[in-house]
Amino acid sequence: MGNGTIILVSRLDPHLHTPMYFFLTHLSSIELISVTCIIPQMLVNLSGPDKSISFIGCVVQLLLTLGLGGTECVLLAMMAYDRYVAICQPLHYLTLMPPQLCWTLAGISWLIGFSNSFVHTPITMTLPRCGHNRINHFYCETPPIIQLACVDTTNYKKEIMMLSSIFLVFPLSLILVSYGRIAHSVLRIKAPGGRQKVFGTCGSHLTVVSIFYSTIIYVYMTPKPKLSHDVTKFVALLYNLIQALINPIIYTLRNRDVKEAIRKLLMRKQKRGDIGFS
């Protein structure tokens, strides 16, 4: 409901038709699809003795979660670049971030994320498992599925580690560079109110980036012998489900424009629902 509300408000309120909320809509769409992909099956497995998932269902979960995770990595970097342009080049913001460029950046994010997913999902799901089909996890994810393989997967794990590094290091580097430039600009602002406004604008995005990248790096970059299954599942819960819950809370509670847009829509609905009598 939270992510759906952000998507709806960003579409209905003309004041939110800006690059920032365009990217936020895509981020909320990612979280909404991810939750829909994982939670229903998880609730079914938790509510009764049946703990199974079909092979096709497992393939779909892996394909979507892997693709959405990669898309979010790149999209968060695009959002950081958008904040850099808005704060460091405010007079040229609309010129430097036209709608065509926003659609291109969003399209690149989705293309990169799902290109990686369409490559690795078939490889992961076709590894010989020799009858092993019990996944020690609450959904189908690459690391626990690879652990079921009865062949040497050392080279494949190295390949995953390398691609994970690319997906994490390059977008994270762009985020750090963008916020480094933002911090440099903020230090030159004399008015305290101006600094507070900048921190309010960037605080929500930085919070989301910190949660997402810290959990992803912990799972995909930490040597597997040092990770227990319970810790891995808990961290996966954070970046797949908990973040989908707290993202709309972070962006609505820390964002005055979104709160004002929601208030206007509720007031408009209330006025339409009022009736008179004679």
User: Residue for token digits 């269902």?
Assistant: 57
One CATH from 1.10.150.120, 1.20.1070.10, 3.30.420.10, 3.30.420.40 for 2-129+138-262: 1.20.1070.10
Give the list of residues 6+ apart from residue 264 with CB closer than 8 angstroms, or none.
Answer: 13
User: Residue for token digits 């010989």?
Assistant: 128
Find out whether 3 and 32 touch, Cβ atoms under 8 Å. yes
- The pLDDT tens digits along the chain (278 residues) read 888 888 888 888 888 888 988 998 999 999 999 999 998 888 888 888 888 899 999 999 999 999 998 999 999 999 999 988 988 888 888 889 999 999 999 999 999 999 989 988 999 999 898 887 888 888 888 888 888 888 888 888 888 878 877 878 888 899 999 888 888 887 776 665 556 666 666 777 788 888 888 887 777 666 555 556 777 788 888 777 888 888 887 777 666 777 777 777 777 766 665 544 44
106 Rama class: left (phi>0) / alpha (psi -120 to 50) / beta: alpha
